[in-house]
A and B are shown apart, each in its own frame.
Chain A
Amino acid sequence: MLNDKLKYLEEFKPQAGDAWFIVPIDKIAEACKTLRDEYKFDCLSCLTGTDRGEFLEVVYHIFSYQTKETVVLKVKLDKTALAVPTISGIWPSANWMEREAYDLLGISFTDHPDLRRIMLPDDWVGFPLRKDYKEPEEYRGMSTKLC
C-alpha cells in the first residue's frame, strides 16, 4: 500500500518477526513527513541503530494511534559517511532518540538542533554499541577494570 505513493520504498521480509522498508538516505525526511501527513502515522515509537559490520543502519518504528499500525523504515549508512537527515522537526520525540543513537553508535544527524552526547560524558572516547568497540583502559585517571 505504501509503495504506491512512496515508490522508493523497498520491502524486506525476514524468516521471523517484522518486515521493514529500506529508504534511500536523502528520502528519509520526505518519507517520514508523508507518513505523518497522509497516512496518519502520528507517533515515532522508537528510533535506533544497528551496527551490521560493513554498514550501519538506522531503524525507525513509526506508529499510528488512529489505525494501530506500525511501519518499520531502515536507512543504510556506509561506515565512511555516517550522516542522515534529522527528523526531529517531524516528531519531537526524535530529538532525544537521535541524540542517543549519536552517543552510542556515532551516527550523525544533520541539522539536528542539539546533537550532543546524552548518556555518556562529553569527553568519552568511542561509541559503545559498535561491534568493534574497545573499552578504554581508563577514564580521567580511573581504571575501568574490575580488579
Chain B
Amino acid sequence: MIRTEEMTISMGPQHPATHGVLRFIVKTDGEVLHEVKSDIGYLHRSMEKIAEKVGYIGFQPYTDRLDYVCAMTCNHAYALAVEKLAGITVPERAEYLRIIAAELNRISSHLIMVGVTAMDIGAFTPFIHAIRERETVNDLFEMLCGARLTYNYVRIGGVSFDAPAGFKEKCVEFLDHLEPIIDEFNRLISFNKIFVKRLAGVGVISREDAIGYNLVGPNLRGSGVKWDLRRDMPYSAYPRLEFNVLVGTGEAGKVGDCFDRYMIRIREMIESCKIIRQALSLMPSGDTMAKIPRRIKPPAGEVYMRCESARGDIGFYIVSDGTERPYRLKMRTGSFTAMSIVEKIAPGLMVADLVAFVSSMDVVAPEVDR
C-alpha cells in the first residue's frame, strides 16, 4: 500500500544549494511544500557584543565579515553611521573613491548572485563566466587596498589609500569589457527558455508583503516598489550622479517573481557601470582622509544610518555614551528580513522552487546571523 502522509525533510545546514550555512525544515507532500521553517544562527558570532568591546576604530574590520560578498558597502555603512554621530566631514575625493569601490563591489556581488542562481537550478557554465568577470574586480580592489575579499578600505573619515597610478585606466578598461559581456551573459542564460521557466511566476512577493516584511534593495524593487536609498535618501556624493532606479515589471510572469529579482540585478550592473564612469570623471584631486583624532569619542546620543548595499538597505544603529566604545551597536541587514519571508511564501512551491526562491533573494548567511 502507498503511504501518503507528510514527510519532514531537513534541508541543510550543509546543503549545496543553500548559501552558506542555513537550514530549512520542510514538510512536503511529494514534491509540494506544505510548511517551511527556517533555522538560522549557525554563523552567529555576536558581533554586536564584540563592537562594545573593541571600540569604534577596532570594529571597522569586523564589518567586512558581516557580508563578505559585498564588504565595501558594509564598511561604508558603518563609517557613515559613526561619521554622522561624531560630526566628521569626509574629503571630496574620498567620497568618490568610496562610491567607485561600492559600485564595483555591487557589480561583483550581483555577478555572484546571477551566477549562483543559474548554478543552483542546474546550469553550471554561467557561474564560471560570472566568476571570471569578478576576478577582474578583485584585481582592481587589490590595486586599491591590497585585499581581494575583506577590504577594510572605507574607514571612518575617508578611505585607507588613494587610487594608485593606472587605476582609472584599468577601471575604464574593465567597464568597457563588462558591458558587452552582460549582453553575452543574457544570451547565454537570462533569456534561455528553460531558465526563464524555472524563475517566471515562482515565489511571487506582493508589494504589500515586501514592505511589511521589510524587504530591501533589489528584492523590494523586484516587487515593484521604486525605492533606492542612493536616490531617495542620498548620502555621500550620490546626489551628483545620474542613474536609473529599476523595478520589476513582471516581464516573464508576475511582478515580484524570481525572474524580476534576477533581472533587476543584471540591469543594476549596467547602472553601476554608469555611476563608476561618472564618478571617475568627476573625482577631484586632494586628500583621501579627514583629520580625525586617534581615539574617536562621539558625543552621547544615538544614530540610525542606512546605506544601500548590494543586498539592499543595511542599517547601523549606534548608541554612544561619549566614550571610545559604542554603548550598543545593532546591525539591521537585508538578508535577515529576506529569510523571514520564506516561511510565508514557500508553502505551495515545489522543493526545487524553494532553491530557486532562496537564491533569487540573494541571501548571505553571515549577514543573516551576524
Closest to B227 in A: A65
Counting CB contacts under 8 A, is A44 at the interface? Answer: yes
Counting CB contacts under 8 A, is A108 at the interface? Answer: no
A18 to B316, CA, bound (A): 13
Main SS at interface, chain B: mixed
A92 to B214, CA, bound (A): 8
Q: Which of the 9-residue segments B92-100, B271-279, B326-334, B348-356 touches chain A?
A: B326-334
A118–chain B nearest beta-carbon distance, Å: 6
Closest to B220 in A: A65
| B333-359 interface bits toward A, Cβ cutoff 8 Å, 1 = contact, 0 = none | 000110110001000000000000000
Within 8 A of B (CB), among A17-76: 17-18, 20, 42-46, 48, 50-51, 59, 61, 65, 68, 70, 72
Is there contact, CB below 8 Å, between B317 and A59?
yes
A96–chain B nearest beta-carbon distance, Å: 4
A118 to B43, CA, bound (A): 12
Known: A43-B214, A45-B315, A45-B332. A119 touches B48 (CB 8 A): no
Counting CB contacts under 8 A, is B192 at the interface? Answer: no
A129 to B53, CA, bound (A): 12
A50–chain B nearest beta-carbon distance, Å: 5
Q: Which of the 9-residue segments B65-73, B120-128, B297-305 touches chain A?
A: B297-305
Is there contact, CB below 8 Å, between B87 and A16?
yes
Is there contact, CB below 8 Å, between A129 and B233?
no
Counting CB contacts under 8 A, is B46 at the interface? Answer: yes
Known: A46-B315, A72-B304. A17 touches B212 (CB 8 A): no
A70 to B306, CA, bound (A): 11
Counting CB contacts under 8 A, is A14 at the interface? Answer: yes
Is there contact, CB below 8 Å, between B319 and A50?
yes
B293–chain A nearest beta-carbon distance, Å: 16
A41–chain B nearest beta-carbon distance, Å: 11
Closest to A121 in B: B41
Binding site for B on A (CB under 8 A): 14-18, 20, 42-46, 48, 50-51, 59, 61, 65, 68, 70, 72, 91-93, 95-97, 104, 117-121, 128-129, 133
Binding site for A on B (CB under 8 A): 40-41, 44, 46, 48-49, 84-87, 209, 211-214, 225, 227, 232-233, 298-304, 306, 313, 315, 317, 319-320, 327-328, 330, 332, 336-337, 339-340, 344, 369-370
